[in-house]
């Protein structure tokens, strides 16, 4: 057990910024929290309950990554971890762009179309999987 704790200590002594992927995810999460709160405030939808829920959810993701990141590096799955962190960061980037658009920041048309096509594809795949799980019926019967 002390060997594992020593590994964590050594991993984080190099500085979390040494893992560019984790740093990218961390910045994206913080930026998404700030923009989501700003968007809610601007649209008179701000709720302290929703704010706490969002911060807890985003914080939970970061906490899990803080625990799992060193372990996956230790067992030689750093590349898979970076792929997963990259996926999460892109998901947050999509949310950030959406919040910026809702705040009135002009978003390049190509970027909007790209994100819309990715979101539509993701939604289609989710609906397809849900239908398969429910036996092919839209109402789940």
Identify whether 86 is part of a domain: yes
Domain total for the chain? 1
> Measured over all CA atoms, what is the biggest interatomic distance in the chain, rounded to whole angstroms?
54
31 falls in which pLDDT band (50, 70, 90)?
A: very high
More confident residue, 38 or 66: 38
Identify whether 126 is part of a domain: no
Q: pTM of this prediction? A: 0.66
Q: Residue 12 belongs to what domain range?
A: 2-107
Identify whether 90 is part of a domain: yes
Please report the pLDDT score of residue 140 as a whole number: 45
Q: Which residue has the tokens 């913080």?
A: 30
CA 38 vs CA 24, 35, 63, 67: distances in Å: 21, 5, 24, 30
Residues 47-78: tens digit of each pLDDT: 888 888 988 999 898 888 888 888 887 888 87
Identify whether 127 is part of a domain: no
Residue 112 clears pLDDT 70, i.e. is over it: yes
Identify whether 112 is part of a domain: no
Identify whether 118 is part of a domain: no
Identify whether 129 is part of a domain: no
125 falls in which pLDDT band (50, 70, 90)?
A: low
């Amino acid at each position: 057990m002390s060997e594992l704790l020593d590994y964590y200590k050594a991993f984080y002594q190099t500085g979390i910024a040494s893992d560019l992927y984790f740093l990218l995810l961390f910045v994206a999460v913080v930026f998404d929290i700030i923009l989501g709160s700003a968007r809610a405030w601007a649209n008179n939808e701000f709720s302290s309950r929703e704010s706490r829920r969002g911060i807890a959810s985003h914080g939970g993701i970061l906490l899990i990554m803080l625990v799992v990141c060193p372990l996956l590096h230790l067992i030689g799955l750093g590349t898979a971890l970076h792929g997963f962190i990259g996926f999460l960061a892109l998901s947050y980037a999509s949310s950030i762009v959406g919040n910026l658009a809702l705040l009135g920041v002009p978003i390049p048309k190509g970027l909007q179309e790209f994100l819309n096509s990715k979101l539509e594809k993701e939604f289609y795949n989710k609906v397809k999987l849900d239908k398969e799980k429910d036996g092919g019926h839209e109402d789940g019967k």
